[in-house]
Amino acid sequence: MVNEKKTKKSSNKNSFLLQFKAVYEKARKKYKLPDFEYMNREFEIEKICDHETEFLVREIRRIMVEKINYYTRLLEIFINPSAGPIFVMEMIKNIDVKNEKVISDLYKKLTDITIEVVGLDIEYDEKAELTFIKKIISRWDKIKKELMQLYSLIKEANKDSEKKDKKSYFG
90 is a domain residue: yes
95 is a domain residue: yes
Whether the per-residue pLDDT at 104 is higher than 80: the answer is yes
105 is a domain residue: yes
123 is a domain residue: yes
138 is a domain residue: yes
171 is a domain residue: no
- pLDDT at residue 166, rounded to an integer: 57
Encoded amino acid at 24, one letter: Y
Tell me what the pLDDT averaged over the chain comes to: 85
Q: Which domain holds residue 125?
A: 2-166
Q: pLDDT by residue (tens digit) across 50-77?
A: 778 889 999 999 999 999 999 999 999 8
Surface-to-core class of residue 80, CB atoms within 10 Å of its CB (0-12 exposed, 13-18 middle, 19+ buried) = exposed
130 is a domain residue: yes
Cα R_g (the chain), whole angstroms: 20
Instruction: Count how many domains the chain has.
Output: 1
State residue 54 phi and psi, 5-degree precision: -95, -5
Q: pLDDT by residue (tens digit) across 151-162?
A: 988 888 777 666
Q: pLDDT by residue (tens digit) across 107-122?
A: 999 999 999 999 999 9
- pLDDT at residue 96, rounded to an integer: 76
Q: Tell which wins on pLDDT, 89 or 65.
A: 65
109 is a domain residue: yes
